[in-house]
Structure 1
């Protein structure tokens, strides 16, 4: 059991699910955690790990419980939020778009090679001038010409885009003004992806600025069941819960590092774990971890019961990432000066928490989603 799982939530997993979690945890602790700081510092992606993720056999998770899927997101973020994001973009956003919005033929064509990590996916929605207002402000256009579509526009912050084989691009159809999804090959003419430099968070993730200039996509590669932004939002509803789980994973990592450090660090002739103020910090961290984990567990139960709504994932994302910010800050405080060097990894988790706090809907936007649900009044502009 994890040190931060005080209420033994992991016991809610079945025996088979627990075995999957242990297998993934062993992989992360052996292969990812030891190199996370180095790749993060160099803003370099560990391509040699991609096929090892394939060997885990977890990307095509149809039939898995939401609790297992969430716990896997937690484990990945507990090891490295950057690699958790890589996986979430590929297996969640990209594969999820095809799974939810693709035709049976498209699913059969793309899901197996993506599940095997033979084809890496990316998800291109955010634009240089559009983030929170992307539903109404999306400017990338799609124009039909016979059996092809012509895409023009720009995207920003697109994870995996510098090396993705398949990029799910969301564009506005000029004929009916509706947002539609297109699977674009990374090597197609007119498509360019330039790595975003100088990031202070999720540095291992290869985010890119994408330019689409007359990119031609066959009708067969348009997601056949994506007819409006409502379909895009349905994908985001599913993956937003995964970000809440990732936030719990980051909190867990920070708590575990701080707890271990408190037992080892000596001041005034004794381990700092013996001091009341240190125990107070640790208990506050554990309280946030436990509350957020409980919220995510109940969210997973609602998903599997078919009672899952927008406000459920929105509240989870807003709450968990806010509590995460507190926890990584307290952990950094407990480690004092050692908290700002990569040697103890806390600095990496502090920085990466800022990205998780913002992506898949800011706290403010998710607050408005929940506010609309509970009041019946929309405060969106």
Structure 2
């Protein structure tokens, strides 16, 4: 179904204009980017402020993914900007983190769409694919000619996927037969390609498969009635004797340990995305506090409101520092699972607190889309949960501290 969207302006605020540095970047971390990266980031921010932010509430309310943006996002080079095959210019993991933050600051649903398509699916191909698979798929996906999804989570398995994956893959000559089910698969309701993760019945190891849609036996059904990231069209996927050629098996993925490399990289991106959610809510609350009058003065003049703003900015600043360092470690080739896990756990926890304070500042208006906070408040819950729950990421860090796994 095609719908016409109209740009909306908040009933109480106007969106902040693009600037060289965000006011929320209190310690000027962004100056660590190269001049080229800063210039590119300004252009991306301008695009987001004109083409994404004004329509985000309507997409969210209709529970429709912003598919019209797919080619425009491709033109900006936002798909596959981590891979030599598809980079528009040489850039750092730190830059890519700032980009993820900026997109999420404008709209967490759009950030999730890009994170699934580029961060998860394209990274899986870039890390686990053969040279032929990378040459075939990465340019197509980077150009936005097709949309990809990442099928790992199952109806009965999320945190225990490493050992509990039930979807099976059985090799028959030069083909594989996949059977099972997946749940909460972002972009899965309309994707052209889904990276499906299944357990090889022969060796009990996890392997990845490039499944084109539609394929016989593959069904993707949009999950309805969501109250978080509503503009992400998650799907329930059923695989019934889906036949995949050996040439469409990711050739460099032979175990869950190989898959974990993909998750390590993307988990850091989710930390940046969570930071963007916090920044978006904080900026909405700050603008509201400056304009909302009570007792004859703006509520921004009240001590308790200023304390909430100061606490939120401190949480955001600490989160930027953590995100910056984990991305620097990625650039240096030193990033480990526990680095990404700590960033994801810490930043999503701080994000939750920032969006809660922001909603408090807006009072009753904080639950209405028109005032620039409610969407972030709702979306934060999904970001807090996906790519590893707070508890699981904490246990990854705990294992690194003690040397003792405590997952069960």
Please tell me the TM-score bracket, short chain as reference. over 0.9
2:340 equivalent in structure 1: 313
SS of alignment partner, residue 348 of structure 1: helix
Say yes or no: does 1:136 pair with 2:156: no
* Aligned with residue 94 of structure 1, among 114, 121, 127: 121
- Count of residue correspondences: 381
2:37 equivalent in structure 1: 17
**In structure 1, distance between residues paired with 2:239 and 2:44:** 37
Residue pairs, 1:72-151, within 5 angstroms: 72-151=99-178
More helix by share: 1
1:35 equivalent in structure 2: 55
Cα deviation, 1:137-163, whole Å, max 9, x if unaligned, reads 000000011111000000000000111
Say yes or no: does 1:5 pair with 2:25: yes
1:323 equivalent in structure 2: 350
Q: 1:285, 1:327 within 8 Å by CA — same for their partners in 2?
A: yes
Consecutive unaligned residues of structure 2, counting only runs of 5 or more, are 1-20, 84-89
Say yes or no: does 1:209 pair with 2:236: yes
The CA deviation at 1:58 is 2.6
* Aligned with residue 74 of structure 2, among 22, 43, 54: 54
Cα deviation, 1:329-349, whole Å, max 9, x if unaligned, reads 000000001100000131110
SS of alignment partner, residue 169 of structure 1: strand
Consecutive unaligned residues of structure 1, counting only runs of 5 or more, are none
**In structure 2, distance between residues paired with 1:341 and 1:259:** 16
Say yes or no: does 1:173 pair with 2:200: yes
Which stretches of structure 1, 4 residues or longer, exceed 6 Å deviation after superposition?
Answer: none
1:345 equivalent in structure 2: 372
Q: 1:311, 1:369 within 8 Å by CA — same for their partners in 2?
A: yes
2:86 equivalent in structure 1: none
* Aligned with residue 299 of structure 1, among 309, 314, 326: 326
Q: Could you tell me the TM-score, scaled by structure 2's length?
A: 0.93
**In structure 1, distance between residues paired with 2:361 and 2:224:** 31
The CA deviation at 1:369 is 0.2
The CA deviation at 1:76 is 0.6
The CA deviation at 1:119 is 1.3
**In structure 2, distance between residues paired with 1:208 and 1:265:** 40
2:3 equivalent in structure 1: none
Q: 1:3, 1:256 within 8 Å by CA — same for their partners in 2?
A: no
Cα deviation, 1:268-316, whole Å, max 9, x if unaligned, reads 1111111111110100000000000011011111111111111000000
In angstroms, what is the RMSD of aligned CA positions? 0.7
Q: 1:178, 1:228 within 8 Å by CA — same for their partners in 2?
A: yes
Cα deviation, 1:23-49, whole Å, max 9, x if unaligned, reads 111111101101100110110122211
**In structure 1, distance between residues paired with 2:72 and 2:185:** 23
Q: Could you tell me the TM-score, scaled by structure 1's length?
A: 0.99
